[in-house]
Amino acid sequence: MPKIRFLPQDVEIEVEEGKTLLDAALDNNIRIDHNCGGNCACSSCHVVIEEGFESLGEVSEDEEDMLDEAENLTDKSRLACQCKIKQDLVVRIPPKEATFDDDTF
């Protein structure tokens, strides 16, 4: 089974091939924001693929459009909801500039 290492948490998990990166993270209590529920309708599940980028499928036009809205975008950015696992990956969950966990202003 493929392994995914999540950074900066430095947590490694095994997942079944074909599962999305978002589902694999959530199934293992690794927090990745997913405001649209994993439907490629926002950019909140943006991640950076540090190793294994070439193993992921092509970026769709919809994903490209959503990535344009992501914070801290890089040339190895993807949406976790659109990445189907085929082999080992190292994934960085970038910091978000805005956090809505604290509702005080």
Looking at the structure of the chain, the number of domains it has is 1
Provide the percentage of residues in the chain whose pLDDT is more than 90. 87
pTM exceeding the 0.85 threshold for the entire prediction: yes
The CATH number of whichever domain residue 70 belongs to comes to: 3.10.20.30
Tens digits of residue pLDDT in 4-32: 999 999 999 999 999 999 999 999 999 99
Residue 96 included in any domain? no
Structure confidence at residue 66 as a pLDDT band (50, 70, 90) = very high
What is the three-class DSSP state of 26? Answer: helix
CB neighbours of residue 12 within 10 Å: 12
Domain residues for the domain of 61 are 20-83
Do 46 and 24 form a contact (C-beta atoms < 8 A)?
A: no
Classify each residue of 66-99 as buried b or exposed e, where b means 16 or more C-beta atoms within 10 Å of its C-beta. Answer: bbeebeeeeebbbbbbbbebeeebbbbbbeeeee
